[in-house]
Structure 1
């Protein structure tokens, strides 16, 4: 089975700029960005609650503490958020009604929280809408890991960020491309 397409920054911008213009645009943008800019799994994104991202004082937390029930391997982990992603979360929180901290962060049009399967279908539909062949709900995670690897981040750090217990798993995510090869030979 072929791996999900790894998107370049340009391809991600194309997807983001061509999201359907509807009342779910900001929500869909953030769900997509959590996979691309934080390397989160679809199931982890679907399991997020408002309290996972919003502090008691109303600010966006710099890290998301996922408990074991929210992760694939049933191992709690920390997801680090960069400033750009924190701004996106803040913008999204302004679009949702004031609600309790245990409310799902993302609601479907039927006013229930997403399941991993429904979120997977939603993200796949966003890629399909733009004509991004080969892109799936796993593309964001692969792109996150590959982008960081191309910038010289070590595989142990990548494994920790991805929540992998084995660096071999992380290495399988890294998509080697010509730009990475060009940069490597320039080091000689």
Structure 2
């Protein structure tokens, strides 16, 4: 099975523009951006509770602590949330009804929690309908890691951010675009 496509900023914009025209736009936008801006797995996004992203004073956390039950490898980890994603989370929370901190952050149209599989299918469908060939629910995660790598972030840091316990596990996520190769060659001169 081929690896998920990494998206350029232009392609991500295309996806977000498509999402904006559809039902559940705020929810779907944030689910996509959670993968692109934090590198979270789609199953981790689906497992988020409202209390995972909010401080007791109602502000958005800058670190999300995922329990072992919320992660693929059953190892608790911390996801760091940048300012841009914190603003997106805050905007989304204004669009949903008040829920208990123990309620799931994202609900299906039937108002139930997303399963990892349903969230995966939802993101896959969005990418397909937005016309991004080769993209899947894993594209945000690969794009996040590739973007950071292209900006000089070391593999050890990338592995920690991705929740990988070995450096070898993060290597397949890093895509080397022609621009990255051109820029690397320029460093030699």
Q: Shorter chain as normaliser: what TM range?
A: over 0.9
For residues 14-29 of structure 1, the aligned pairs below 5 Å read 14-19=14-19, 21-29=21-29
Structure-1 residue corresponding to 2:116: 116
CA distance in 1, matches of 2:155, 2:9: 21
CA distance in 2, matches of 1:21, 1:112: 23
Structure-2 residue corresponding to 1:151: 151
Task: Describe the superposition over 1:58-107 as per-residue Cα deviations: whole angstroms up to 9, x where unpaired.
Answer: 10001100011100011110000111100000000011111110000000
CA distance in 1, matches of 2:167, 2:9: 25
Structure-2 residue corresponding to 1:64: 64
Answering whether residue 36 of structure 2 is matched by residue 4 of structure 1, we say: no
What is the TM-score of this pair, normalised by structure 2? 0.97
CA distance in 1, matches of 2:155, 2:164: 10
Task: Name the SS for the 1:112 alignment partner.
Answer: coil
Structure-2 residue corresponding to 1:80: 80
Structure-2 residue corresponding to 1:133: 133
CA distance in 2, matches of 1:173, 1:179: 17
CA distance in 1, matches of 2:172, 2:166: 11
Deviation at 1:182? Answer: 1.0
Q: Which runs of 5+ in 1 are unaligned?
A: none
Structure-1 residue corresponding to 2:165: 165
Task: Describe the superposition over 1:7-51 as per-residue Cα deviations: whole angstroms up to 9, x where unpaired.
Answer: 111110111111152440000000000001100001100000000
Over the aligned positions, Cα root-mean-square deviation in angstroms equals 0.8
C-alpha contact 2:35 2:141 (8 A) present in aligned 1: yes
CA distance in 2, matches of 1:13, 1:135: 14
What is the TM-score of this pair, normalised by structure 1? 0.98
Poorly superposed stretches of 4+, deviation over 6 Å: none
Task: Describe the superposition over 1:125-181 as per-residue Cα deviations: whole angstroms up to 9, x where unpaired.
Answer: 110111111000000001100010000100000000000011111011101111111
Structure-2 residue corresponding to 1:51: 51
